[in-house]
Amino acid sequence: MFLAQVASHERRNSTAIPLQSALEPVIEVRSPLKPVSSVSVTPASKPRAFASLSNRDFRIYLFSATAAMMADNIEHVISYWVIFQKFASPALGGFAVISHWVPYLFFAGFSGVLADRFDIRRLIQVGMVMLLGVSVGWGVMFMTDSVTLWKAMALLVIHGFAGVIWIPASQVLIHQIVDTQQLPSAVRLASTGRYLGFLVGPAVGGGLLLALGPAHGIFVNALVYVPMAVWLIAAPYGRAAADWRPAPPALNGFADIWSTMKVVAADRVLLSMTVLIGAASFFVGNAYQAQMPGFARDLGHGRADFSYSVLLAADAAGGLAGGLLLESRAMLHPRARTAFVLAMIWCCALIGFARANIYALAICLLFIAGFVELAFNSMAQALVQMNAPGAIRGRVIGVFSMSAMGMRTFSGLSVGLLGASVGIHNSLALSAAGLFLLIVLLFGARTMRRA
């Protein structure tokens, strides 16, 4: 019933958002206040470099969100180091990864429903407070030397749920802050900020660990979450900016998620991007990063710890360079075809890295992998946000997050457990090759449907 209120099965002009199926007529959702241009056609105006940075509120959001992502990685560096020293448990390390991604798999869809129903500012603040509380909890345990297994597991679980609460809501907030022409730039810069957090966070975390110790270092880290939470107290967004939308119905649990999945399945762009990112997360995700110590050792460097750091930095630096270069040149405007091609290049780069036996070549291939991963991930995110019906944008982003983040839970099986049987080099190469073949099939099927 709700979808019937926000969808019309008539063909309208090109300013509407197309939701197209091969077997059904075009469905579009038109905001009575804020028309959204389709991204399936080339815009009339030429994209501007760093277009979203002209928006003052987006600059505030970008810097504070990047700081929060950096704090997330600082916490990982400090907390993982302490619990490894305390327990030396690979199983606990595996639980840390699972607890980070499983909440996205099961609850990202519900988080998207909440983003449509409630004030997104408050959802983000809840996430920030939870992350801040986790850092303070670690700090108290470190100071009192009271770290126990169950306490560590509880904090890891809370950390995972904090991410699934604030990230989908933050994607909806981006759409409210910027206009349609600025949205691709905003999504790409937000993704670049995430990679900057990945790159800078471990270095800053290591510095805090050495300079202040784990307890004081993680207390300082807790303060990094404060700017985002404080700015959102009076930011002119949230429900006030979305009052034009039809009032969402009461929460209906899985019924909301299922109805949203049907909307996604009916739109070629939403469906193809959700499946593409879900497949990339399922087969590869970021599971190969957990195997970096093994790759560094096999590449024959005596200082394996340093080699490991350089390999991780190469991947993150590639993503950072990709975001800055593409944005500064206003290159690669969001198109589904381009996203598929970039994902194929990513697979090839990872296959090359898995088979490389020269350290310098491995670093170059990881840099390329990070570059194209940033490009196709941010492009897919932009396409989903720009094609999502305004009245259920949070739900659509929640389903996309469930696919993009939640499916990473299984990449540990394809890369990690398979690696225990055939070796990490073979498992990564086979996983990336399988993903490449699937992307080729998806791309071919999409092209045939268009024809």
What rounded mean pLDDT belongs to the chain? 78
CA separation for the pair 397, 380 (Å, rounded): 11
CA separation for the pair 55, 174 (Å, rounded): 11
Q: Which of 218-222, 306-310, 402-406 has the lowest mean pLDDT?
A: 306-310
Dihedral over alpha carbons 201, 206, 207, 211 (to 10 degrees):
140
For the chain, give every domain's residue range. Answer: 51-232, 260-451
Q: According to the model, what pLDDT value does residue 386 have? A: 80
Q: According to the model, what pLDDT value does residue 44 have? A: 42
216 vs 117, which has greater pLDDT? 216
Q: Which of 370, 304, 321, 306 is nearest to 342 (CA)?
A: 370
**What values do phi and psi take at 28, rounded to 5?**
-135, 155
Across the range 389-414, mean pLDDT stands at 80
CA separation for the pair 56, 406 (Å, rounded): 32
pLDDT at 290 over 80: no
List 17's β-bridge partners, or say none. Answer: 29
Q: According to the model, what pLDDT value does residue 390 have? A: 74
In order, the DSSP letters of 350-380 are HHHHHH---HHHHHHHHHHHHHHHHHHHHHH
61 vs 100, which has greater pLDDT? 61
Token pair, residue 160, equals 């995972």
| Topology of the domain comprising 51-232 | Growth Hormone; Chain: A; (1.20.1250)
Q: According to the model, what pLDDT value does residue 285 have? A: 82
Q: According to the model, what pLDDT value does residue 231 have? A: 92
User: Do 28 and 17 form a contact (C-beta atoms < 8 A)?
Assistant: yes
DSSP assignment letter at 18: E
pLDDT in tens, 125-152: 999 999 999 999 999 999 998 888 889 8
Q: According to the model, what pLDDT value does residue 417 have? A: 65
pLDDT band per the 50, 70, 90 thresholds, residue 65: very high
pLDDT band per the 50, 70, 90 thresholds, residue 292: confident
> 260-451 is classed in which CATH architecture?
Up-down Bundle (1.20)
Task: Judge whether 51-232 and 260-451 match in fold.
Answer: yes
pLDDT band per the 50, 70, 90 thresholds, residue 422: confident
Where does 25-148 have alpha helices with state H?
56-87, 90-117, 120-144
pLDDT in tens, 225-279: 999 999 999 888 865 444 434 445 445 666 777 888 888 888 888 999 999 999 9
CA separation for the pair 436, 350 (Å, rounded): 10
Q: Which of 354, 377, 342, 359 is nearest to 308 (CA)?
A: 359
CA separation for the pair 142, 407 (Å, rounded): 33
pLDDT in tens, 356-395: 988 889 999 999 998 998 888 888 888 887 888 877 877 8
